[in-house]
Structure 1
Amino acid sequence: MDFKKTFLFFSFLAYCTFQAQTLNLYGGADQDQYLGCLNCDTFDKNSIWNKYSDYGNVYSSKSIWNTYGNYGSSYSTYSPWSSYASYPPVIVDQDGNFFGFLTLNTYKSERSELELAHILCKYHEDIKTDINGWYEKLFR
């Protein structure tokens, strides 16, 4: 195999592995508050992409999209969108494997290196205004 084919093969393999994992968010000082599924589809009741669920609704206290909530405010120590958050949400898979913190705080050790986490941090303000549209861009 040449380099390009090898790279494409391993990229595809990594993509399939990532898609097979269910990634969840937990927040709060002890990371014991479930905040939804990062890569579940828009119809899943636990999805942050389901605008009718507790985790995707911009008015829900458990949603990272609620600008005025503990987990969505740009000022809250528990929010991924606060540049100074001490307790941002953690990303874990269904087996409890840790994938880092979802946070804008560049000084937070163990900040997630997942591409999805980087996209969410970079575009979170835009995503809040079009959750379904962004889901389509990212996962379809």
Structure 2
Amino acid sequence: MNTTKIFTVLSLLICCLFQAQTLHLYGGSNQDQYLGCLNCDTFDKNSVWNTYGDYGNVYSSKSIWNSYGNYGSSYSTYSPWNSYASYPPAIVDQDGNFFGYLTLNTYKSERSELELAQVLCKYYDDIKKDIGGWYGKLFR
């Protein structure tokens, strides 16, 4: 199956599964730092897909896409992109239901099994280079 077909299937799956749920990220050692909305559209000020907002901008200290920040560095214990992170961001819905941790750390207890989390972990380097383009691939 080629890459285009895979993205089309993933997009349909992700949109259908998470259309009714708004998923948020919380980071830090106590998961008390808000890191944005994981499945809000690119125009939402809290979206991790809004490259002009606090949570989607690659230069923001609150962004998982900031390669030099606490929440986006591959060396930070608070980042989803550190394979050994102790405190990766938690995924919760608007009602506070926990959906696991967004992390590359395959040994982390309660690592999220959500399809969206798995796609983000697999393609995070590519996503950082084209956040808006990937939003289109995943959610449209």
Normalising by structure 1, what TM-score?
Answer: 0.89
Give the deviation of 1:14 after TM superposition: 8.9
Paired letter, 1:77:
T
What is the 5 A alignment of 1:86-125?
Answer: 86-125=86-125
1:41 aligns with 41
Change (3 A) 1:133 1:17: closer
Q: Deviations over 1:92-134 (max 9, x none)?
A: 0000000000000000010000000000000000000000000
| SS, match of residue 42 in structure 2 | coil
Give the aligned length: 129
Partners of 1:13 and 1:79 lie apart in 2 by 26
Matched, 1:60 2:60: yes
* Ranges of 4+ aligned residues in structure 1 off by more than 3 Å: 12-17
Normalising by structure 2, what TM-score?
Answer: 0.89
Give the deviation of 1:16 after TM superposition: 3.9
Q: Which runs of 5+ in 1 are unaligned?
A: 1-11
CA contact (8 A) 2:14 2:139 kept: no
Partners of 1:54 and 1:111 lie apart in 2 by 25
Question: C-alpha root-mean-square deviation of aligned residues, in Å?
Answer: 1.5
| Structure whose alpha-carbon radius of gyration is higher | 1
Matched, 1:69 2:69: yes
CA contact (8 A) 2:92 2:99 kept: yes
Paired letter, 2:137:
K
Matched, 1:82 2:82: yes
Change (3 A) 1:19 1:79: same
Q: Percent identity?
A: 84
Give the deviation of 1:19 after TM superposition: 1.0
Q: Which runs of 5+ in 2 are unaligned?
A: 1-11
